[in-house]
């Protein structure tokens, strides 16, 4: 099934100049970029995007990281895009991520893990609306 999903290239990967390499990985995996923009996430956007994490012990640090610099937001489209993008990204902890995954290649740590991707069709729709209206 053809799906759309949201991907964020996080501040650590943007700062390390990995945008092009990350995009290339998605494109080589037959995922089409439908829309893309660079922005600095505000606290308000972070609160909408990470609403289910507000109040948890790690939220303040997450918000601080995600608002610390530029990010790239993309809508990717393709066959089973949600599942495939999450596989391409790899496990959250780069030490546990499979070889060749984006997080194995570019993540600094479990907290600074280079990319975000929607985890379900419902969240993809919600997250796309936050970043692209």
> CATH fold of 2-37+73-132, please?
Alpha-Beta Plaits (3.30.70)
Model-level pTM greater than 0.75?
yes
Q: What are phi and psi of 113, to 5 degrees?
A: -110, 30
Q: Is 116 one of the annotated active-site residues of the chain?
A: yes
From 102, 28, 30, 116, select the one nearest 73 (Cα to Cα): 116
- Length in residues, the chain: 133
pLDDT of residue 124: 98
Average pLDDT over residues 37-58: 97
In the chain, where are the structural domains located? Answer: 2-37+73-132
pLDDT of residue 133: 92
Interval 74-114: pLDDT, tens: 999 999 999 999 999 999 999 999 999 999 999 999 999 99
């Amino acid at each position: 099934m053809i799906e759309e999903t949201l991907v964020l290239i996080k501040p650590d990967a943007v700062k390390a100049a990995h945008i092009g390499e990350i995009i290339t990985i998605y494109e080589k995996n037959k995922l089409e970029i439908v829309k893309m923009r660079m922005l600095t996430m505000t606290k308000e956007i972070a609160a909408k995007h990470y609403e289910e994490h507000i109040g948890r012990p790690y939220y303040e640090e997450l918000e601080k990281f995600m608002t610390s610099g530029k990010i790239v937001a993309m809508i990717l489209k393709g066959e089973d895009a949600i599942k495939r993008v999450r596989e391409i990204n790899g496990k959250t902890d780069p030490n546990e991520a499979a070889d060749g995954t984006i997080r194995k290649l570019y993540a600094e740590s479990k907290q600074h893990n280079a990319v975000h991707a929607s985890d379900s069709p419902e969240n993809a729709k919600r997250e796309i609306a936050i970043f692209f209206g």
